Structure 1
Amino acid sequence: MTDPALDSASAQALGGFAFQDTGLDRADTLRDDPDALRRHWPQARLLLLDGQGRAAADAHGACLPLRGDRFGGGPGAAVFLGLDAEGQAWFALEADTVPAVGAARWIDLREAAVHWPASEAGAFAYARGMLYWHARTRYCGVCGGAVAFRRAGFVGHCAQCGNDHYPRVDPAVIMAVDDGERLLLGRQPGWAAQRWSVLAGFIEPGESPEQAVAREVYEETAVRVQHCRYLGAQPWPFPGALMLGYAARAQAAEPRVSAELEAARWFSREEIARALDGGGAQADGPRLASPISIAHALIVRWHEGVHAGLTPQ
């Protein structure tokens, strides 16, 4: 029988991190209507990205306000992202496909997540994921033929063998694992000193997310998960993951790391509290994940006790 406290906790949406909402209706039917997209183009909002996935910004770091009529013609190779609440179309396009726009700055996605309105940062993440896929889908993975994009950028078609290719999203699990009193965190080789975070890993073929949670935790730390519960998700376009957030209860075993992690250990509620309050700046305190990430949200949620009642069924 499921614990009522767990049901109550899981019903509360996990939030407070970036890229949760683009503010756009993706308007799938318009992807097959090039005439409608051409009509939208002159007043459309454009997100212009360079080869490093950075967006054109003004001198203050705000998203550069670009419209389709600045470039004339129609959408061409631009990717149609959708319509905002006012019915304005949004497109994403690569900077090297249009004349120079005189951007004062090129801003990366992490900086935008901190300083831009949430919907603009979400649209930027969406655009970055789509253009990254375009840049790496020039040729067919089946026959090697050249790929041409259709449906406003959402289908890559190979004229040589006829196969269609679709945007790639890599599902991964990320989990706040506790033993009832302490939180299990790990650190990877190459991270900054005292940087710790929750565990994460990609889902393998033929595996459910819950199975991936248990497998990844055991592979990385030799700690056995007894039960887990889905809490929320974050698109993470670095380059194209979808992070599925879980809370998990595990046995209070001493972690033993594999080659994936440099170290793993249990942290008390007091240690996490100091880290969240900035105490991680101390030489012996943990430095936690960025507030824009679902990893940080999972740690905050655990510390606030929203996970209370998480027990095996």
Structure 2
Amino acid sequence: MRMAETVTFGGSGLDRGAGLRKDGAALDRLLAGGQVLPVWRGKPLVDAGAALGWVRPDSPVLSGAGPAVFLGLDDGVARFAADISDWSPEAGAAGVEAGFFDTSEQRHPALDPRLAFQELRGVMTVLSAREAELAATAKAVLHWHRSHGFCAACGAASVMEAGGWQRACPACGAQHFPRTDPVVIMLVTRGNKVLVGRNASWPEGMYSLLAGFVEPGETLEAAVRREVFEEAGVRVGAVRYLSSQPWPFPASLMFGCAGEALDEEIRLDPEELEDACWVTREEMVSVMAGRHPRIRPARKGAIAHFLIANWLADRLD
């Protein structure tokens, strides 16, 4: 696919400095002269909604933070991330909102008021490609540390090692590494139509491409066919890979695939989808422009939006 790596969160060419991760002295020196991205309950610090809010390692906002995770070298600048989720906003500050998308913002009293913790979905399309990759990496790895604090082998508390890229169990010696969950997302077409569906928890009118987790022992192609049949009852024949996207909500890797439907009859599984339908290319132009009377497009920045836009532009190889 021509444009495959221009998807949000991908293709910035970040030097992750993997060879430095086990050199504690080198990491200490890099941290002392580097910059840190504070992340609060999964929300990165953002400067006026258009750039990440980097701070010095001695910033008071990092008081009480966990060990910093080494993200890599950004044109020679060492970048780290730190979880400050134990900080509690002052009384009267906006709280986290429930639902599909959290629009609330939290400001730390030790920081410039231009800086706020914001939901990454809301700013991912305005960040540069490099900062989007850094934010996605920070959010995913820090979430893994918060949810995997104990050894899966013996249950003892584990500790962060290798610049945040593994956890070690001091009791049994087991090593644990950040988890990424593979997910297939499918541009299923038949002739001039594409298959879309919606989850009941999504905003009213929002439709997207069908998607699902890859199961153990399963190829991407098999996962595409299984998920589409399970959710919509549509059988898929030929499948091919198009593009991938790291998706840190919380820690998935989306594999965008094209699939050719063998039939058009939809037999919906109501436990999976609230609705599914075929949309013609002409209708999808209206959907993507926000002019369709019933269907709203997938969120900008998501690989679903990316794949549909490139399908409409005939840029799928």
TM-score interval (norm. to shorter): 0.7 to 0.9
Change in CA separation of 1:273 and 1:58 when aligned onto 2, cut-off 3 Å: closer
Matching of residue 26 in structure 1 with residue 16 in structure 2: yes
Q: Deviations over 1:126-157 (max 9, x none)?
A: 00001000001111122110101111111111
Matched residue of 2:315: which SS?
coil
Cα distance in 1 for residues equivalent to 2:187 and 2:69? 36
Matched residue of 2:137: which SS?
helix
Matched residue of 1:184: which SS?
strand
Shift of 1:307: 4.4
The answer to which of 54-63 and 177-186 deviates more is 54-63
Q: Corresponding residue for 1:183?
A: 194
Q: Corresponding residue for 1:17?
A: 7
Cα distance in 2 for residues equivalent to 1:203 and 1:18? 21
Matching of residue 269 in structure 1 with residue 259 in structure 2: no
Equivalent residue letter for 2:77: Q
Aligned length: 292
1:42 to 23, 26, 32: 32
Where is the helix percentage greater, Structure 1 or Structure 2? 1
- Determine what percentage of the aligned residue pairs are the same residue: 40
Indicate conservation of the 8 Å contact 2:242/2:316, yes or no. Answer: no
Cα distance in 2 for residues equivalent to 1:26 and 1:131? 16
Indicate conservation of the 8 Å contact 2:34/2:56, yes or no. Answer: yes
Q: How does 1:1-313 map to 2 (within 5 A)?
A: 10=1, 12-50=2-40, 52-59=41-48, 62-68=51-57, 70=59, 77-85=67-75, 87-95=76-84, 101-102=110-111, 104=113, 105-258=116-269, 259-280=271-292, 282=293, 284=294, 286-307=295-316
Shift of 1:61: 5.5
Cα distance in 2 for residues equivalent to 1:173 and 1:33? 36
Matched residue of 1:279: which SS?
coil
Shift of 1:63: 2.2
Q: Corresponding residue for 1:6?
A: none
Equivalent residue letter for 1:232: S
Indicate conservation of the 8 Å contact 2:5/2:11, yes or no. Answer: no
Indicate conservation of the 8 Å contact 1:49/1:95, yes or no. Answer: yes
Change in CA separation of 1:57 and 1:206 when aligned onto 2, cut-off 3 Å: same
The answer to which of 131-140 and 54-63 deviates more is 54-63
Compare relative contact order (CA 8 Å, sep 6+) and give the higher one, 1 or 2.
1
Cα distance in 2 for residues equivalent to 1:149 and 1:194? 43
Q: Which runs of 5+ in 2 are unaligned?
A: 88-107
Indicate conservation of the 8 Å contact 1:256/1:264, yes or no. Answer: no
Matched residue of 1:235: which SS?
strand
Indicate conservation of the 8 Å contact 2:70/2:164, yes or no. Answer: yes
Shift of 1:236: 0.4
TM-score (norm 2): 0.85
Cα distance in 2 for residues equivalent to 1:156 and 1:270? 51
Matched residue of 1:67: which SS?
coil
Indicate conservation of the 8 Å contact 2:72/2:79, yes or no. Answer: yes
Shift of 1:48: 0.6
Equivalent residue letter for 1:57: V
Change in CA separation of 1:103 and 1:129 when aligned onto 2, cut-off 3 Å: farther
RMSD of aligned C-alpha atoms? 2.3
Indicate conservation of the 8 Å contact 2:233/2:267, yes or no. Answer: yes
Cα distance in 1 for residues equivalent to 2:258 and 2:189? 8
Indicate conservation of the 8 Å contact 2:185/2:256, yes or no. Answer: yes
Equivalent residue letter for 1:67: R
Cα distance in 1 for residues equivalent to 2:185 and 2:141? 23
Indicate conservation of the 8 Å contact 1:228/1:246, yes or no. Answer: yes
Matched residue of 2:51: which SS?
coil
Change in CA separation of 1:202 and 1:60 when aligned onto 2, cut-off 3 Å: closer
Q: Which runs of 5+ in 1 are unaligned?
A: 1-9, 309-313
